[in-house]
Structure 1
Amino acid sequence: MKVLLTGATGLLGVHLAGELLNQGYDVRAMYRSLPHQFNQLPWFREIDWIKAAITEPADCVRAMKGCQAVIHAASRTEPYPTQLAAYYEANIAGTDHILAAVRRCDVSRLVYVSTASVFRPGTLENPATEESPYAFHLMSSGYIASKYEAQQRVLSAVDQGVNAVIVNPAFMLGPYDFKPSSGAVIKYAMKNRLLFYPGSGGKSFIDVRDAARATVKALRLGQPGASYLLANEHLPYERFFQMLARLSGKRKTLVPIPAPLIRMAGTLSSAGEWLFRKPVPLNRINATLLTQDNYYSGEKARRELRMPVSPVSRAIEEAMEWFDNR
């Protein structure tokens, strides 16, 4: 079976390409540009690379011809600016173009990569599941709102006969983070002696390779129309930054920032964003996300997609080693 992969140059996409090959699939990967040193990936020459954009309908059809399945992992993922419009073309229109091409090319299976953040997060004691309500209180995040809308369009396509499955990864960590994306927090911990972190809240983390394996397994094992949260280890920010400091191998001083201070800074930054029409990393909604519990259960994916459970510490160690050798 030949699988078209979008988003192949992102952190998850890189590992999806390798895992698809490992599970015996032929892989065609769409790209707009290749990061520096990307061709040094061990599986780079085993991929059928095609230069194309998900924002161009004709490109999607051209890339999909001859493929029997699609994993759509491409999206704009940075958590700012606030406005939904900034994410519309890549995350919503791009998904529409992929869905149209799936119908036109008679593709037998689509796996759409959404995000855990579309679901209302739970607590350490009671993590959110796929049955949790959607996070409508967080939709002032343009990113979350765009992923929610794209997910709804995939679900609507399922109702119209498209054989599609959705995976919703939590915070992924691991090597080969070329941009970097989530790896930015690892680089921050490697480079700085003083580590500032939110004084409250936490996240669900997952080794990106576990997420990639579950996503590829969804091609065969996922139930049409089902969503699968990909999450493993639940860590309050204090424990997570203690882990980063320890694994860095260098002396670090950890400084918690009180949640009210972070939220105040986010509110002021949002006012500046509105006034000057320039996006800022710490806006009101991102300050909220940084200081709340963001915990999700991966039990369904472990049960139905055979998702492995690897220690997040290993993912961090290997990411640090990779960054050191770049």
Structure 2
Amino acid sequence: MILVTGGTGFVGTYLLYELSKKETSIKSTYRKEKNKELTKNFFKLKDQNHPKLFNKIIWVKIDISEISSLDELYFGIKKIYHCAAFVSLAKRHKNLLIKTNVEGTSNIINYAIKHKIKKILFISSIASIGAEDEDGIINEDHSWDHKLNHTDYAFSKYNSELQVWRGTQEGVPAVIVNPGFIIGSHFWNRSSSSIFNRVNRGLKFYPTGKISLVSVEDVVKASIKLMNSEIKNERFILVSENLYYKEFLDLISKNLGKPLTKYPLTKSILYTIYFFDTILSFLRVKKRFMSKALISTFNNNQEFDGSKTKKFISFKYEKIDEKVKEICKDYINK
């Protein structure tokens, strides 16, 4: 039996759909009934045979950061796709990021060791990988640099990975995938797909840095192939293309028939926002959002090299311009 943690999330839902077409026995965790219904609706959108596929899944309502009922969760499990995570760049969510991402992953690994799980595939993020060389290209060999400013989300994913590597030292084979910014259809109000909503409402400003992009279908396809291979104890960056934010946002704007972005969010503008955000937080007017690490993220021109995957498995990335066109068509017809 296969276990998918976070099966109602963006990647988890797409993964469950693909697995349900091939596997006979799947178990998935979830936390909220409404999110499970959203996953069920996704199956309905994708396939006329959706009841048969969806009913293959055994749903377990659980918080992986709480260990009280994890033994029952692991009964009969041979392989795990660990997708469950909390995603936020807001400074105020630091404690929740640590609890969900780091403590949750630690619990998953502890029980994987206890139950002698055959293999784990962990969905991480490029945020957990280190700084670039002089040419600005980052690959799997770049290690975490403690001297740099990192978002709390990046810190949580890095420490989550440490838990996975700990598991490999104690006999649990693992593969880590590090996707870039994941794009896909149907999750317009959640996850990274909400960017299409934002552009549709009108977006005038754009960050000046670069963004590394990959489709959710590519993340799922690569993850399944890596899980089913003999590959173990490796990491793989999943990035199709690196574009400037303006290129990416304008690509969405053109396909949605919206005005292009006009004004750059320069570092000086972002630091001004950071200054007032800090003051308002100190005065308890609002909770803090901005951080120096986030400013660096928006202005960074680094690129991620996702070619290693193609050397290990038969795999080809979708082109981003074609994928954005397809997603925008889905958005218009939703």
Name the TM-score, length of structure 2 as normaliser. 0.87
Give 1:40's aligned residue. Answer: 41
Distance, in Å, in 2 between the alignment partners of 1:321 and 1:137 is: 43
Cα RMSD (Å): 2.4
Quote how far apart the aligned CAs of 1:25 are. Answer: 5.8
Distance, in Å, in 2 between the alignment partners of 1:255 and 1:59 is: 51
Give 1:21's aligned residue. Answer: 20
Q: Pairwise mapping of residues 96-175 of structure 1 onto structure 2 (< 5 A)?
A: 96-122=106-132, 126-138=136-148, 140-175=150-185
Give 1:250's aligned residue. Answer: 258
Quote how far apart the aligned CAs of 1:29 are. Answer: 1.0
Q: Pairwise mapping of residues 48-63 of structure 1 onto structure 2 (< 5 A)?
A: 48-63=58-73
Is the CA contact 2:8–2:30 (under 8 Å) kept in the aligned structure 1?
Answer: yes
Which of 302, 317, 320 is the equivalent residue of 2:310?
302
Give 1:195's aligned residue. Answer: 204
Give 1:276's aligned residue. Answer: 284
Give 1:182's aligned residue. Answer: 192
Quote how far apart the aligned CAs of 1:123 are. Answer: 7.9
Query: Structure 1 pair 228/94, CA: closer, same or farther in 2 (3 Å)?
Result: same
Distance, in Å, in 2 between the alignment partners of 1:26 and 1:294 is: 41
1:312 aligns with 2:320: yes
Is the CA contact 1:123–1:293 (under 8 Å) kept in the aligned structure 2?
Answer: no
Give 2:48's aligned residue. Answer: none
Distance, in Å, in 1 between the alignment partners of 2:243 and 2:233 is: 30
Is the CA contact 1:10–1:177 (under 8 Å) kept in the aligned structure 2?
Answer: no
Distance, in Å, in 2 between the alignment partners of 1:171 and 1:123 is: 21
Query: Structure 1 pair 174/123, CA: closer, same or farther in 2 (3 Å)?
Result: farther
Query: Structure 1 pair 314/61, CA: closer, same or farther in 2 (3 Å)?
Result: farther
Is the CA contact 1:165–1:222 (under 8 Å) kept in the aligned structure 2?
Answer: no
Is the CA contact 1:121–1:293 (under 8 Å) kept in the aligned structure 2?
Answer: no
Is the CA contact 2:13–2:39 (under 8 Å) kept in the aligned structure 1?
Answer: no
1:6 aligns with 2:15: no
Give 2:237's aligned residue. Answer: 229
Q: Which moved more, 1:316-325 or 1:218-227?
A: 316-325
Segments of 5+ residues of structure 1 without an aligned counterpart are none
3-state SS, counterpart of residue 221 of structure 1? coil
Deviations 1:24-78 (A, max 9, x none): 4632111011325432222433322221221221333222211110011111111
One-letter code aligned to 2:236 = Y
Q: Which moved more, 1:49-58 or 1:8-17?
A: 49-58
Give 1:70's aligned residue. Answer: 80
Distance, in Å, in 2 between the alignment partners of 1:89 and 1:260 is: 33
One-letter code aligned to 2:42 = L
Is the CA contact 1:31–1:50 (under 8 Å) kept in the aligned structure 2?
Answer: yes
Distance, in Å, in 2 between the alignment partners of 1:149 and 1:274 is: 28
Query: Structure 1 pair 274/8, CA: closer, same or farther in 2 (3 Å)?
Result: farther
Is the CA contact 2:83–2:123 (under 8 Å) kept in the aligned structure 1?
Answer: yes
3-state SS, counterpart of residue 13 of structure 1? helix
Q: Pairwise mapping of residues 200-211 of structure 1 onto structure 2 (< 5 A)?
A: 200-211=208-219
1:214 aligns with 2:214: no
Higher relative contact order (CA 8 A, sep 6+): 1
3-state SS, counterpart of residue 317 of structure 1? helix
Give me the identity figure in percent. 21
